[in-house]
Structure 1
Amino acid sequence: MYDVNYHRPSSLEDAVKVLKGAGEAKILAGGQTLLPTMKQHLAAPSDLVDIRKIPGMVGVKVEGGAIVIGAATTHAEVAGNADVLKHVPALSCLAAGIGDPAVRHAGTIGGSIANNDPAADYPSAILALNATVVTNTREIAADDFFAGMFATALEDGEIITAVRITPPKLAGYEKFPNPASRYAMVGVFVADTGSGVRVAVTGAGEDGVFRHEGLEAALGSDFSPGAVDGVEVSSDGLLSDIHGDAAYRAHLIKVMAKRAVSSAA
């Protein structure tokens, strides 16, 4: 690995100072993507800013009728938290299916959505649940946060501090995982938010996570697995790789959508 300066700030203000004062600083939360890329010499930050010890960055609380999850909360903590299990069980199930135990006890929800890997699980949940991404400077609606593969609305020096989710009436998530990586070849999160049905797809899009309007319209009229049958899912804009072509992924979107609706109900 390259030489790197390690920082463990005790406040957001200190973290921002380091980010602005360093040449090529990166935020370190779980490190499940950043550290492997550094080891492979695909990334060479001058400084690492470890945010895990900043007060308020870890944990789950119920606040104003919403679930608020600290950005540095691990997947394992999300999966096992009683409030998440009670109010958004689909999110708990999603977190429990990420990677393996080592990944789940190190990786964080904030790191996942900030990285916005096109096959990551959390982006589909954030988008389908119409969550709010809270940073040190503002609040960003889910529809405005994801900006394409590995891209988000985050600006330089901006740090995700929490994710706020209003509990849905119903929600479900199902994915077809790659057998080696456990990343989603296709994952579909469906949610009846009370003000409409939202369906988000991960693992399949050439430009990362996306909402599917056809599935939303069908499930908005009839929230049942059978409603998915009449929806046409185009292969346009879907990924083709060694694991499956675009047509196969289009088929999987319908299959996973039906399963997600069944699990929600």
Structure 2
Amino acid sequence: MLFDKPIVLHSTQADGRHWLTTMDIPPLKIWPVAANHCRVGHFLATLISAKLASLKSDIPEEITLSRSDVASVDSLSGRYPELNTDAGDVRIRLVVMKSPEGSDDQEEPDQDDDSPQFITPQPPLDWSGDYDEWIVTIGRRLGVDVPEPSDEKGYEKAMAKAAAELQQRLPLLRQRFLAGMDGLNLGFKVGLTTRKGGREYVWVRPTDWSQEETVVCVLENQPRDCKGYKLGQTLSLPVDELLDYAIGSESAGIVEPGLTQRIAEDYGLVIP
């Protein structure tokens, strides 16, 4: 059966591309997407599975999806659309894969010999671009802010760009902090030096930002491998060491997830 709230499993290939597979029967398998397309792959697996679960008929050869379909899925509607432009219908060909003739696979006695092994979404036959271009196009039309495809090396570049963007946002964030944050909490991500000379990323909560170039913070989580640091410790940090931010509260949750969270989801380091 196909579920309207599917469980999506994720695995990464040696080349950094991602498989996304649902726990449906038959499972829906998203053909390996680019290293930074894990988030949109997860989105598509969830949306397509929910769409198929809503159909009364057998699995069609092609489906058409729109942002109204996204709005009908509870697990997606609260987060998407991220884009207000480029909206449009998308056509998706559903390729049903079955056991090859003469396969040695042992099937249960009561299993239908014609039952599909899995369903994989593919571009329509008249699509003229490549697979990665198709993923970008349909993701954006459905409201996902999909980055251009990249390999694993793009991760560090994306993180450096996010840190640079944060520095540009700091003056406004400081104004909001000094004004009281409207009842919300502000947190910053910083990198501490580990015992082996690496970097461990932790979150800190600012308590005093009276000096423009320095912010006094409390360490919000216990570092695993950083000597001399402990939970609740007060740190005085130069603002140029701040790497990311988040805004939220216990009641509202995260209302501004910052910049690196989405990058981590794009590269499959965090599953949305």
Q: What interval of TM-score do these two structures reach, taking the shorter chain for normalisation?
A: under 0.3
Larger Cα-atom Rg: 2
Higher strand share: 2
Name the TM-score, length of structure 1 as normaliser: 0.25
Structure with more of its chain in helix, by fraction: 1
TM-score normalised according to structure 2 size: 0.25
